[in-house]
Amino acid sequence: MDISRTAAVRRTPPRRTAAGSGAVLRPVDETDPPGHRAAVVEEDAEAAGSRLLPGADPPEAGIPAVGDGCGAPRAVPPSDGGRVPRAKGPQPGGRVRGVGAQDRPTPVPAAPVDRRPRADQGDHMETTPSTPGLHPLAAAEFAPASTYLNTSLCGLLPHRAVRAVGRLAQELADGRAGGSGDWAAVEAVRASFARIAGVDAARVAVGGSVSVHVGLIAASMPRGAEVLFPEGEYASVITPFTVRGDLVARFAPLESLAEAVGPDTALVALSSVQSSDGRVADLEAVRAAAAAHGARTLLDASQSAGWLPLRAGEWDYTVTGGFKFLLCPRGVSFLTVGEEAQRTLLPMHAGTFAAERLWETTYGPIGELAHSARRYDEPPAFLSYHAGRQSLALVEEVGTEALRAHALTLADRFRAGLEALGWEPVRAASAVVGVPGLGGCAEALAADGISVSARAGNLRAAFHLYNTAHDVDRALDAIERAAGKRA
Ligand SMILES: Cc1ncc(COP(=O)(O)O)c(C=O)c1O
């Protein structure tokens, strides 16, 4: 294999990505100037210009919104035009004033209008047959000021996490004897995530962002190694590899990623749930193909951990941002490293927190690094970790299965409502719903107090514990007003 080319990207004919994202993969000419190497071009998206929600995360928002949905709002059809009629009067899950100082969501006893998905709409229907009521912990821990369907951008902080930040912030303002935070909070976060991910805490390293964890893995790859990604994968998973300039990056459609693994593949890197449209990868097939070819595996669970079971022990590496479904603030992230992979992964940013015996080596090189994956830790952002301890405790109290059932039921209700309006949401058993062509509606929804994202032309909505059937119906109403019904 000729490895002299810089960040060579395997040539493939230009093609549209799956699920109507509209992204065009431009095969990169190996004679392109370095800045153009490994380019994945979102041509139609760029042409449309950015239409991000105020406050949207610019890195993920690099894919601007396009779509015919809201460019020119269509005439809204008569209210009963094929649409499931909506009940009048107070809505279950609606927010009522006068409960303490804040609006509080009321429990959802049952759906007054049957927006439930039909039996042919998803393979998990048997497990999520009805609209669930609001979980008591949701009522106690959240009081969103808007209809918040944007957990894929960042999750809401529970009250207990906000209080923990406040306490530490006050102590830091007062002058604190024990330094900038408690190491016990960091270890509690590590242990909590280990339970959620089904691995021993000795396999978990903590940090502040996904791309830094991925950078560590990328730095460990031998020159010329081939790394395989799904087309349209999140940039933080790809870029630490492509910037090296001496690796081979190859892309294949998510749906045929397993078949694309070959004898030259050193690593397959993918997200369990795609950020752009909520598609869920066939993880078993990818792992089996990688095992058959002796390739290592890297899973990004940022869009799934919390609602989709994560068996981190089945992967050589997993990376997870804590600030989405795990409800932590930015600054909490996780890397898990399998035993075999730990032999070759160099702890390149090891600092004082990477020592086997903490606080014993402050000056000079650390003689004995942590025997566990803690040697890959980044020094912790304590405010985030004090909050994260509370957030993960809540996620554990709720449980992945309960959260999954709740989120999927709402996601299915949303998909069914969209289909009744003539739109074609991406079909997936996913808490993240992508709607091709509707990305341009995000701004109109924001004006209605409904927070969603626009990604690669898709409208993206995500459902968590704090969402109700009423939130789904509000969003559907707003979409109907903004984009109308499709013929
Ligand atoms: C799939 C995925 N991975 C990673 C991230 C975050 O990456 P980083 O922490 O490098 O910004 C996000 C969202 O922001 C994401 O959707």
Q: Which pLDDT score, from 0 to 100, does residue 133 have?
A: 65
Q: Does residue 480 line the site of ligand 1, with CB under 6 A?
A: no
Q: For residue 51, is pLDDT > 70?
A: no
Q: For residue 314, is pLDDT > 60?
A: yes
Q: What is the rounded CA–CA span in Å between residue 38 and residue 299?
A: 21
Q: Which pLDDT score, from 0 to 100, does residue 178 have?
A: 86
CA angle 401, 275, 24 (to 5 degrees): 145
* Sign of the alpha-carbon torsion through 355, 360, 365, 367: negative
Percent of the chain with pLDDT over 70: 72
What number of residues does the chain have?
487
Q: Which pLDDT score, from 0 to 100, does residue 360 have?
A: 86
Tokens of 421: 């309006």
3-class secondary-structure state, position 333: strand
Distance 234 CA to ligand 1 centre (A): 7
Q: For residue 453, is pLDDT > 80?
A: yes
Q: Which pLDDT score, from 0 to 100, does residue 196 have?
A: 98
Q: What is the rounded CA–CA span in Å between residue 138 and residue 471?
A: 14
Of the listed ranges 54-68, 288-302, 347-361, the least confidently predicted one is 54-68
Tokens of 407: 């989120």
Ligand 1 atom nearest residue 274's Cα: 1
Q: Does residue 430 line the site of ligand 1, with CB under 6 A?
A: no
pLDDT band at residue 292 using 50, 70 and 90 as cut-offs? very high
Q: Which pLDDT score, from 0 to 100, does residue 197 have?
A: 98
Q: Does residue 270 line the site of ligand 1, with CB under 6 A?
A: no
Distance 302 CA to ligand 1 centre (A): 6
Q: Does residue 210 line the site of ligand 1, with CB under 6 A?
A: yes
Select the more confidently predicted residue: 165 or 19: 165
Distance 287 CA to ligand 1 centre (A): 22
H-run or E-run covering 317: strand 317-321
* Sign of the alpha-carbon torsion through 135, 137, 140, 145: negative
Distance 26 CA to ligand 1 centre (A): 23
pLDDT band at residue 307 using 50, 70 and 90 as cut-offs? very high
Distance 120 CA to ligand 1 centre (A): 32
Distance 197 CA to ligand 1 centre (A): 18
Look at residues 90, 86, 92, 131 and name the one whose alpha carbon lies nearest to residue 108.
Answer: 92
DSSP designation for 432: E
- Between strands 333-337 and 204-207, the pairing is antiparallel
Domain boundaries, the chain: 95-159+399-483, 181-397
Torsion angle in degrees (nearest 10) through CA of 101, 105, 109, 115? 150
Averaged pLDDT of the chain: 79
Q: Which pLDDT score, from 0 to 100, does residue 361 have?
A: 84
In terms of average pLDDT, the best of 68-82, 97-111, 401-415 is: 401-415
Q: What is the rounded CA–CA span in Å between residue 374 and residue 65?
A: 39
3-class secondary-structure state, position 268: strand
181-397, what's its fold?
Aspartate Aminotransferase; domain 2 (3.40.640)
CA angle 170, 171, 177 (to 5 degrees): 165
Q: Which of 209, 216, 236 to mutate to test the pocket of ligand 1 (most atoms within 8 A of CB)?
A: 236
Q: How many CA atoms lie within 13 A of 149 on its CB side?
A: 33
DSSP designation for 258: H
Select the more confidently predicted residue: 271 or 82: 271
- Find the mean pLDDT for residues 42-66: 30
Q: Does residue 302 line the site of ligand 1, with CB under 6 A?
A: yes
Q: For residue 382, is pLDDT > 90?
A: yes
Q: For residue 441, is pLDDT > 60?
A: yes
Distance 236 CA to ligand 1 centre (A): 6
Partner residues linked to 56 by β-bridges: none
Distance set, CA 339 to CA 203, 301, 434 (Å): 8, 19, 36
Partner residues linked to 450 by β-bridges: 147
pLDDT band at residue 93 using 50, 70 and 90 as cut-offs? very low
Residues 6 or more apart in contact with residue 343 via CB below 8 angstroms:
none
Q: Which pLDDT score, from 0 to 100, does residue 359 have?
A: 86
Q: What is the rounded CA–CA span in Å between residue 379 and residue 76?
A: 54
Q: Which pLDDT score, from 0 to 100, does residue 6 have?
A: 31
Q: Which pLDDT score, from 0 to 100, does residue 222 have?
A: 97
Specify whether the CB–CB gap between 251 and 229 falls below 8 A.
yes
Q: Which pLDDT score, from 0 to 100, does residue 188 have?
A: 98
Look at residues 111, 57, 104 and name the one whose alpha carbon lies nearest to residue 466.
Answer: 104
Distance 153 CA to ligand 1 centre (A): 9
Q: Is the pTM of this model over 0.75?
A: yes
Q: Which pLDDT score, from 0 to 100, does residue 484 have?
A: 84
User: For the domain with range 95-159+399-483, which CATH number is right: 1.10.3720.10, 1.10.1740.10, 3.30.450.40, 3.90.1150.10?
Assistant: 3.90.1150.10
- Find the mean pLDDT for residues 271-276: 98
CA angle 48, 301, 409 (to 5 degrees): 80
Q: What is the pLDDT of residues 185-198, one digit of tens each?
A: 999 999 999 999 99
Ligand 1 atom nearest residue 275's Cα: 16
- Find the mean pLDDT for residues 377-397: 98
Q: For residue 467, is pLDDT > 50?
A: yes
- Between strands 265-271 and 296-300, the pairing is parallel
Q: Does residue 209 line the site of ligand 1, with CB under 6 A?
A: yes
Q: For residue 297, is pLDDT > 90?
A: yes
Specify whether the CB–CB gap between 258 and 288 falls below 8 A.
yes
Q: Which pLDDT score, from 0 to 100, does residue 24 have?
A: 25
Q: Which pLDDT score, from 0 to 100, does residue 486 have?
A: 77
Q: For residue 72, is pLDDT > 90?
A: no
Nearest residue (CA) to ligand 1, atom 12? 302
Q: Which pLDDT score, from 0 to 100, does residue 134 have?
A: 79
Q: Which pLDDT score, from 0 to 100, does residue 103 have?
A: 29
Q: Does residue 60 line the site of ligand 1, with CB under 6 A?
A: yes
Q: What is the pLDDT of residues 223-252, one digit of tens each?
A: 999 999 999 999 999 999 999 999 999 999
Q: For residue 341, is pLDDT > 60?
A: yes
Partner residues linked to 95 by β-bridges: 105
DSSP 204-243: EEEES-HHHHHHHHHHTSPTT-EEEEETT--HHHHHHHHT
Q: Does residue 151 line the site of ligand 1, with CB under 6 A?
A: no
Q: What is the pLDDT of residues 73-89, one digit of tens each?
A: 333 232 322 222 333 33
Q: For residue 422, is pLDDT > 70?
A: yes
pLDDT band at residue 69 using 50, 70 and 90 as cut-offs? low
Q: Which pLDDT score, from 0 to 100, does residue 487 have?
A: 66
Nearest residue (CA) to ligand 1, atom 3? 302
Neighbours of 255 (CB within 10 A): 15
DSSP designation for 441: G
Select the more confidently predicted residue: 420 or 9: 420
Q: Which of 270, 275, 310, 335 to mutate to test the pocket of ligand 1 (most atoms within 8 A of CB)?
A: 275
pLDDT band at residue 132 using 50, 70 and 90 as cut-offs? low
Q: Which of 52, 150, 152, 210 to mutate to test the pocket of ligand 1 (most atoms within 8 A of CB)?
A: 210
Specify whether the CB–CB gap between 216 and 348 falls below 8 A.
yes
Distance 321 CA to ligand 1 centre (A): 6
